[in-house]
């Protein structure tokens, strides 16, 4: 049960993470973005593999994936039309959108989140940086307080 809970949390994060890869911020995933995405998902693909992934669902032959084409990956996975070893199957499994349960809406959130997630990503990093700075500052203050306290002690005790 605990495991399931953790898994669920992971699923939630996925909504944002997978779609950080639209670095061109154009609402599409191109080859490089797909490459980055698959590496982050822990299933890196060869250049050829990536091309094949896109070609398999690229209905308008523009060499990148639109939301509709992205959905097609999950439809085909659900219908058992994808080869077990294919990159698309790995993507479908790893990004954990089950279109039949989440419905198109869930997938659409997921897709749109990717378009915004780049700025979220850098904002997140900025927050982490600030947090580190804050912690450093607190450490320094604590040391100063301790030093002041020691000085105070020596004044009283001498």
pLDDT digits (tens, 9 = 90+) for 21-54: 676 767 888 999 889 888 888 899 999 999 999 9
pLDDT at residue 157 tops 90: no
Cite the beta strand spans of 2-145 per DSSP E: none
pLDDT tens sequence across 103-118: 666 777 777 766 565 4
pLDDT at 107: 72
Q: Is residue 120 over pLDDT 70?
A: no
Q: In a 3-state reduction of DSSP, which class is residue 64?
A: coil
How far is C-alpha 58 from the chain's CA centre?
23
The reported pTM is 0.53
pLDDT of residue 100: 58
> pLDDT-derived band of residue 6, with 50, 70 and 90 as boundaries?
very low
Name the DSSP letter for residue 113: H
- Whole-number pLDDT of residue 14: 42
Instruction: Report the pLDDT averaged over residues 122-136.
Output: 77
Any idea which of 10-19, 76-85, 138-147 has the lowest mean pLDDT? Answer: 10-19
Helix axis angle for 99-157 and 2-17, nearest 10°, is: 100
């Amino acid at each position: 049960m605990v495991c399931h809970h953790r898994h669920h949390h992971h699923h939630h994060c996925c909504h944002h993470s997978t779609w950080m890869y639209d670095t061109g911020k154009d609402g599409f995933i191109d080859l490089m973005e797909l490459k980055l995405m698959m590496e982050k998902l822990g299933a890196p693909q060869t250049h050829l593999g990536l091309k094949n992934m896109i070609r398999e669902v690229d209905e308008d032959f523009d060499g990148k994936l639109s939301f509709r084409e992205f959905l097609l990956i999950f439809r085909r996975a659900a219908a058992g039309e994808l080869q077990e070893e294919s990159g698309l199957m790995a993507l479908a499994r790893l990004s954990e959108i089950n279109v039949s349960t989440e419905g198109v809406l869930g997938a659409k959130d997921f897709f749109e989140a990717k378009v915004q997630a780049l700025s979220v990503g850098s904002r997140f990093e900025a927050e982490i940086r600030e947090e580190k700075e804050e912690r450093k500052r607190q450490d320094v203050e604590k040391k100063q307080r301790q030093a002041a306290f020691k000085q105070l002690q020596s004044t009283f005790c001498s």
